[in-house]
């Protein structure tokens, strides 16, 4: 299990855009990570003031960050690398994510070629599908 301190050592992201809190399990082809959604997050001030809902784009970004952690964790010179979000297909939102939810991200590597990777990801809350997407990432030099 990787704590937030471990995540900070690998990921270049920081507040307010670091969106994963813990890695529960990981191997070369799969990662399971969580995000604890709290009312104190800045986007809830405007999305929506009387009915706070986590923006879908941030849910997808959190899923992509879990995938980025998976790949950066496997690179020896990760301080010299960045993972860029390169594409998204088949993205669907199934239920809103609200303060108090714990989102579980599961990502599976589908293919890796010449610095590009394709992954399938899901985001669930209490076992219920909130979002799923096929994503592509690119590893680049800093």
Question: Of residues 13, 30, 43, 47, which has the active-site annotation?
Answer: 47
| Per-residue pLDDT reduced to its tens digit, 39-72 | 999 999 999 999 999 999 999 999 999 999 999 9
CA dist., res. 122 & res. 106, Å (int): 5
| Per-residue pLDDT reduced to its tens digit, 95-141 | 999 999 999 999 999 999 999 999 999 999 999 999 999 999 999 99
Cα dihedral sign for 38, 40, 43, 46?
positive
Q: Which two tokens stand for residue 15?
A: 């507040």
Top-tier CATH class for 4-141? alpha beta
Q: Which two tokens stand for residue 48?
A: 């929506």
Clarify whether 51 is annotated catalytic. Answer: no
What's the predicted TM-score (pTM) here? 0.96
């Amino acid at each position: 299990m990787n704590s937030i301190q471990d995540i900070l050592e690998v990921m270049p992201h920081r507040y307010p855009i670091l969106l994963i809190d813990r890695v529960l399990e990981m191997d070369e082809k799969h990662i399971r990570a969580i995000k604890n959604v709290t009312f104190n997050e800045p986007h809830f001030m405007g999305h929506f003031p009387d009915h706070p809902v986590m923006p879908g784009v941030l849910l997808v970004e959190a899923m992509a960050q879990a995938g980025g952690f998976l790949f950066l964790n496997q690179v020896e010179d990760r301080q010299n690398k960045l993972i860029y979000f390169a594409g998204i297909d088949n993205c669907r939102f199934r239920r809103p994510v609200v303060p108090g939810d714990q989102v579980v991200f599961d990502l599976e590597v589908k293919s890796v070629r010449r610095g590009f990777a394709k992954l399938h990801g899901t985001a669930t809350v209490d076992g219920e599908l909130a979002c799923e997407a096929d994503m592509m990432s690119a590893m680049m030099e800093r």
